[in-house]
Amino acid sequence: MATRVVSAAWLFAPLNPNLCCSSSSYSKTKAVLLTPPKINKSLGHRGGPCNRASISKGSLKCQASGESSDVSVDPNSVAEVYQGVYGPWTVDPDDVREVILYRSGLVTAAASFVIAASTAFLPDDSPLSGLIKQNLDFFYALGAGGLGLSLLLIHIYVTEIKRTLQALWALGIFGSLATYFSLAQPASEKLVQYVIDNPTAVWFVGPAFAALTGLVFKEGLCYGKLEAGILTFIIPSVLLGHLTGLMDDGAKVILLGVWMALFVIFAGRKFYQPIKDDIGDKSVFMFKALPEDQKKALVEKLEQQKLSQNLN
């Protein structure tokens, strides 16, 4: 069971605290520092939290290198600075845009799924049910696109886990297209209806849902969200129940309803979550972007600072 294997993997692989991008574990301070920082040019790329584009009037500047970890802001303003593992950082406009897009992808995926799944609860002769059923593949594509956007922008410290989620999504999309053109279309059926009528097709579309399971597990682990934790088990349970035939239609409908309700809560709560939570500790991403010699120099400097503080 591909979905079961993937789901089980999330019970062990992400337990490393470095996975979580929550800023709850580091302190927050108000600071006005007038000393201009030294900016490492090697960090001038999208993945780094402090790039050359941030060196503009009125914007906060930061660095994580072996030479300095100063943070400065415009002397006429007071910026909120977060103390990360490798130095202070702040939220910039690019971060805000990325987080908004990430959350928009989740909302799109949730809304599309809920609308499509609502046909299981609407009367068959309902005009609304008929309209939705005619466009099930559209909602599936829309939701898959939203999930893909979120997986592209998700912040996870362990790059391998992020790439695995993205690979699972890509595999699920490839499987969906192959199922549609090779199986559903020759049978004059839509993709979603074909998967409903032919449970073995879950093998082909399942990886995309495994990626969704990994995403909600990450959210539940990092932020302690109960609905995300429950979804981690609900999603594979519905798919495996349909695939194996061990779950009757009544049980599947009940779990589907729970999935819909929790997905709405999960997506809705993102609107009330601080932007910084979805960013994580930017100093970690900046540190990972440094050359090995500068990483070593920075670690040595931080160890010396810690030793000096302990002695004092």
CA-CA distance, 245 to 171, in Å (whole number)? 24
pLDDT at 136: 96
CA-CA distance, 224 to 236, in Å (whole number)? 20
Q: Where are the domains of the chain?
A: 2-17+97-272, 20-93+281-299
SS3 109: helix
Torsion of CA 172, 173, 177, 183, to 10 degrees: 20
User: Residue 183 corresponds to which amino acid?
Assistant: L
pLDDT at 137: 96
pTM for the whole structure: 0.74
pLDDT at 28: 41
CB 111 within 8 A of CB 267: yes
Name every residue whose Cβ is closer than 8 Å to that of residue 248 and which is 6 or more positions away in sequence. none
CB 157 within 8 A of CB 17: no
Q: Where are the alpha helices (DSSP H) in the chain?
A: 2-9, 93-117, 127-134, 136-153, 159-179, 191-197, 202-223, 226-244, 249-269, 275-279, 282-289, 292-311
Angstrom CA distances, 59 to 67, 74, 92, 283, stand at 21, 7, 8, 17
> What are the pLDDT tens digits along the chain (312 aa)?
334 333 333 333 333 334 555 433 333 433 332 233 333 333 333 333 333 333 233 333 344 333 333 433 344 444 578 777 777 777 888 888 999 999 999 999 999 999 999 999 999 889 999 999 999 999 999 999 999 999 999 988 888 999 999 999 999 999 999 999 999 999 999 999 999 999 999 999 999 999 999 999 999 988 889 999 999 999 999 999 999 999 999 999 999 999 999 999 999 998 888 888 888 777 787 777 777 877 788 777 877 877 777 776
pLDDT at 304: 80
Name every residue whose Cβ is closer than 8 Å to that of residue 33 and which is 6 or more positions away in sequence. 70, 71, 72, 73
pLDDT at 20: 58
Name every residue whose Cβ is closer than 8 Å to that of residue 105 and which is 6 or more positions away in sequence. 145, 146, 147, 148, 149, 150, 151, 153
